[in-house]
Structure 1
Amino acid sequence: MKPIYKDTRTPAAEGGRAVGIRAVAKRAGVSTATVSRSLNNPASVSPELRAKISAIIEEIGYIPDASARALSSRRTRTIGAIVPTIDNAMFAQGLQALQSFLAQRDYLLLLATNEYDLEVELQQARNLVSRGVDGLILRGDKHSEELRRLLDAQAIPFVNVGVYEPDKPYPSIGVDNARAGRRVTRHLIDLGHRRVGIVAAMQRNNDRAQARLAGILAELSEHDATPPEAWMLQVNYKLDDARQAARTLLSQPHRPTAVVCGNDVIAYGVMLEALKLGLAVPGDVSVVGFDDLEWSRHLSPSLTTIHMPTDEIWVRAGEYLVQTLAGAPTMAHREIDFSLVVRESTAPPKE
Structure 2
Amino acid sequence: MARKKKVSMQDIADRLNISKNAVSLALQDKRGVSEEMRYRILQTARELGYGAYAEKAAVGGNVLVLVPERIMGYQDNDHFRFYHDMIWGLEKSIRKRGLSAVIVPIAVEMEKGLQLPRHCEEIDYIGILLFGIAEKEYARIVWERDVPLVMIDSYHRELPCPVVATANIEGAYEAVAALIRSGHREIGFIGSANLTTSHEERWLGYWSAMRQHGLAVNARAVLTDSAGFYNTEREIAHFLNGLEAYPTAFFCGNDRIAYLLANELRTRGLGVPEEVSIIGFDDLQYEENGGLGMTTMRVEKERMCEAAAEMLLSLKGAPSREMLRMYIPPTLVVRGSVRRIKDWDWQ
Tell me which interval the TM-score lies in, with the shorter structure as reference length. 0.5 to 0.7
Post-superposition Cα deviations, 1:66-115, rounded to whole Å, max 9, x if no partner, equal xxxxxxx9x96242323462230221210021123334534132323477
CA apart distance, 1:172: 2.0
**Structure 1 CA distance, aligned partners of 2:337 and 2:267?**
16
Q: Alignment partner for residue 90 of structure 2, among 87, 95, 98? A: 98
Q: What aligned pairs does 1:280-319 form with structure 2 within 5 A after superposition?
A: 280-295=271-286, 300-319=291-310
Contact 2:258 2:280 in 1 (8 A): yes
Instruction: Return closer, same or farther for 1:130/1:277 CA change in 2, 3 Å cut-off.
Output: same
Q: Alignment partner for residue 211 of structure 1, among 194, 201, 204? A: 201
Contact 1:259 1:286 in 2 (8 A): yes
Taking structure 2 as the reference length, the TM-score comes to 0.64
Q: Alignment partner for residue 81 of structure 1, among 40, 50, 66? A: 66
Q: Counterpart in 1 of 2:174?
A: 183
The aligned length equals 269
Q: Alignment partner for residue 100 of structure 2, among 104, 107, 116? A: 107
**Structure 1 CA distance, aligned partners of 2:132 and 2:223?**
23
The amino acid that maps onto 1:200 is G
Contact 2:186 2:248 in 1 (8 A): yes
**Structure 1 CA distance, aligned partners of 2:261 and 2:216?**
21
The amino acid that maps onto 2:130 is L
Contact 1:76 1:134 in 2 (8 A): yes
Contact 2:166 2:330 in 1 (8 A): yes
CA apart distance, 1:181: 1.4
Post-superposition Cα deviations, 1:40-77, rounded to whole Å, max 9, x if no partner, equal xxxxxxxxxxxxxxxxxxxxxxxxxxxxxxxxx9x962
Contact 1:80 1:128 in 2 (8 A): no
Instruction: Return closer, same or farther for 1:149/1:272 CA change in 2, 3 Å cut-off.
Output: closer
The answer to whether residue 131 in structure 2 is matched with residue 139 in structure 1 is yes
**Where does structure 2 lack aligned partners over 5 or more consecutive residues?**
1-58, 319-323
SS of aligned partner of 1:248: helix
Contact 2:114 2:138 in 1 (8 A): no
SS of aligned partner of 1:291: coil
More relative contact order, 1 or 2 (CA 8 Å, 6+ apart)? 2
CA apart distance, 1:282: 0.7
Q: Counterpart in 1 of 2:239?
A: 248
SS of aligned partner of 1:90: helix
Contact 1:257 1:349 in 2 (8 A): no
Aligned alpha-carbon RMSD (Å): 3.8
Q: Alignment partner for residue 185 of structure 2, among 178, 194, 216? A: 194
**Structure 2 CA distance, aligned partners of 1:277 and 1:251?**
13
The answer to whether residue 321 in structure 2 is matched with residue 335 in structure 1 is no
**Structure 1 CA distance, aligned partners of 2:161 and 2:178?**
32
Instruction: Return closer, same or farther for 1:191/1:314 CA change in 2, 3 Å cut-off.
Output: same
**Structure 2 CA distance, aligned partners of 1:122 and 1:210?**
26
Taking structure 1 as the reference length, the TM-score comes to 0.64
Contact 1:164 1:176 in 2 (8 A): no
Instruction: Return closer, same or farther for 1:334/1:150 CA change in 2, 3 Å cut-off.
Output: closer
Q: What aligned pairs does 1:226-237 form with structure 2 within 5 A after superposition?
A: 226-229=217-220, 231-235=222-226, 236-237=228-229
CA apart distance, 1:124: 4.5
SS of aligned partner of 1:130: helix
**Structure 2 CA distance, aligned partners of 1:96 and 1:334?**
20
The answer to whether residue 249 in structure 2 is matched with residue 258 in structure 1 is yes
The amino acid that maps onto 1:221 is R
CA apart distance, 1:286: 0.2
**Where does structure 1 lack aligned partners over 5 or more consecutive residues?**
1-72
Post-superposition Cα deviations, 1:202-249, rounded to whole Å, max 9, x if no partner, equal 523x111111111112222332321223532544445x7336505632
Contact 2:63 2:126 in 1 (8 A): yes
SS of aligned partner of 1:123: coil
Q: Counterpart in 1 of 2:151?
A: 160
Aligned-residue identity in percent = 23
Instruction: Return closer, same or farther for 1:299/1:251 CA change in 2, 3 Å cut-off.
Output: same
Q: Alignment partner for residue 338 of structure 2, among 343, 346, 351? A: 346
Contact 1:257 1:286 in 2 (8 A): yes
